[in-house]
């Protein structure tokens, strides 16, 4: 009998298409080489959760409830988490949900495929963030760079090689539900404007797919710049994010945008290798914190199997 089982799932960064994806459009998203690891053990009595640095355990508790309901499991479990994702908006919730569901399946010897893994993890994320597209859950499962279709939640793999991106944290945490609500509000007030913005974003995503497949970084950069302008029009950027974006653009980046819900978290800058140093310096000068991350590289060996 297995004593414990461990599973890891990666974080993510949105490359193109945030917000529009909540309304059924497609987006492009990449994995980052940082992970949440969940270890599961069978408990003698009640469930227990050991989650250092996590004040609200509702996500991991809900993962167990959702798993138990689906597979009619009665046994108690002990789940413990470890993270090197930090607090930069790199997808902690989705990675925790995916790693927890996988670890539970392993310790309880239940086979689940990627469809079921997505379904259960997505339900878990939605139990704490009601209006969520699921793009982050799909990335935690598939890794690499993917095209995620908001409508039917299907995935197309675009690349498993790293993208030449510099990532920097703005110093502020994004409040994703608040930013999503802000767009809901604008949609009610000015539906035509928002629909036009989403339509333009969907075209950018379509072009972005081709640019990534062809490794046409100059083109991808242009598309990122356009996407950022549309996010400003949607009202989800911030002065700090715009300052960082402009600094990186002036320092020679092909393209720069905020990544994710907006209001805080990270920017991504597409940078030719020769210009990386100048762009990083420019971002630091306006107060951004450059993160040491590899974006878009598949790292299968991190989905680890049962132990002992």
Of residues 21 and 59, the one with the C-beta less far from ligand PMV? 21
| 261 part of the interface to ligand PMV, by CB under 6 A | yes
| 136 part of the interface to ligand PMV, by CB under 6 A | yes
| 21 part of the interface to ligand PMV, by CB under 6 A | yes
Of residues 36 and 261, the one with the C-beta less far from ligand PMV? 261
Number of residues that bind ligand PMV (CB under 6 A): 16
| 263 part of the interface to ligand PMV, by CB under 6 A | no
Please report how close the Cβ of residue 21 comes to ligand PMV at its closest, in angstroms. Answer: 5
Q: Scan residues 39-68 and list those touching ligand PMV (CB under 6 A).
A: none
Identify whether the C-beta of residue 125 lies closer than 8 Å to the C-beta of residue 93: yes
Residue 79 pairs in a beta bridge with 40, 49
Convert residues 192-231 into a mask of x (bound to ligand PMV by CB under 6 A) and - (unbound).
----------------------------------------
114-126 vs 58-71: helix axis angle to the nearest 10? 130
| 174 part of the interface to ligand PMV, by CB under 6 A | yes
One of 208, 260, 288, 296 touching ligand PMV (CB under 6 A): 260
Distance (Å, whole) CA 140 – CA 157: 13
One of 9, 15, 16, 18 touching ligand PMV (CB under 6 A): 18
Of residues 21 and 166, the one with the C-beta less far from ligand PMV? 21
How many C-beta neighbours within 10 Å does residue 127 have?
17
Q: Measured between alpha carbons, how far is residue 187 from residues 7, 103, 172, 259 in Å? A: 39, 39, 25, 21
Stretch near ligand PMV under the rule CB under 6 A, chosen from 16-24, 34-42, 153-161, 280-288: 16-24
Please report how close the Cβ of residue 260 comes to ligand PMV at its closest, in angstroms. Answer: 3
Q: Which residue is nearest to ligand PMV (CB)?
A: 260
Of residues 174 and 251, the one with the C-beta less far from ligand PMV? 174
Please report how close the Cβ of residue 131 comes to ligand PMV at its closest, in angstroms. Answer: 7
| 135 part of the interface to ligand PMV, by CB under 6 A | yes
Stretch near ligand PMV under the rule CB under 6 A, chosen from 60-68, 172-180, 240-248, 281-289: 172-180
* Binding stretches for ligand PMV (CB under 6 A): 14, 18-19, 21-22, 89, 132-133, 135-136, 174, 176, 180, 260-261, 265
């Amino acid at each position: 009998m297995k004593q414990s089982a461990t599973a890891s799932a990666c974080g993510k960064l949105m490359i193109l298409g945030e917000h529009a994806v909540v309304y059924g459009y497609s987006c492009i998203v990449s994995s980052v080489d940082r992970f949440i690891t969940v270890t599961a053990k069978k408990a003698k009595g009640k469930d227990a959760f050991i989650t250092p640095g996590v004040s609200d355990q509702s996500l991991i508790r809900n993962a167990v409830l959702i798993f138990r309901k689906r597979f009619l499991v009665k046994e108690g479990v002990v789940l413990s988490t470890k993270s090197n994702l930090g607090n930069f908006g790199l997808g902690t919730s989705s990675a925790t949900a995916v790693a927890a569901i996988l670890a539970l399946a392993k310790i309880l010897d239940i086979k689940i495929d990627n469809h079921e893994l997505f379904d259960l993890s997505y339900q878990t994320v939605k139990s704490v963030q009601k209006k969520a597209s699921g793009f982050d859950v799909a990335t935690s499962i598939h890794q690499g760079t993917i095209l995620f279709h908001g409508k039917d939640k299907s995935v197309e793999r675009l690349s498993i090689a790293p993208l030449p991106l510099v990532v920097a944290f703005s110093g502020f945490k994004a409040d994703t539900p608040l930013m999503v609500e802000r767009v809901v509000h604008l949609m009610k007030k000015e539906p035509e404007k928002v629909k036009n913005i989403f339509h333009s974003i969907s075209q950018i995503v379509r072009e972005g797919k081709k640019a990534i497949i062809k490794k046409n970084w100059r083109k991808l950069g242009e598309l990122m710049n356009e996407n950022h302008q549309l996010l400003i029009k949607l009202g989800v950027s911030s002065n700090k994010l715009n300052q960082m974006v402009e600094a990186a653009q002036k320092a020679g980046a092909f393209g720069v945008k905020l990544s994710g819900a907006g209001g805080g978290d990270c920017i991504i800058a597409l940078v030719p290798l020769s210009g990386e140093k100048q762009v990083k310096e420019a971002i630091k000068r306006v107060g951004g914190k450059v993160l040491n991350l590899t974006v878009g590289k598949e790292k299968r060996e991190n989905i680890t199997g049962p132990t002992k």
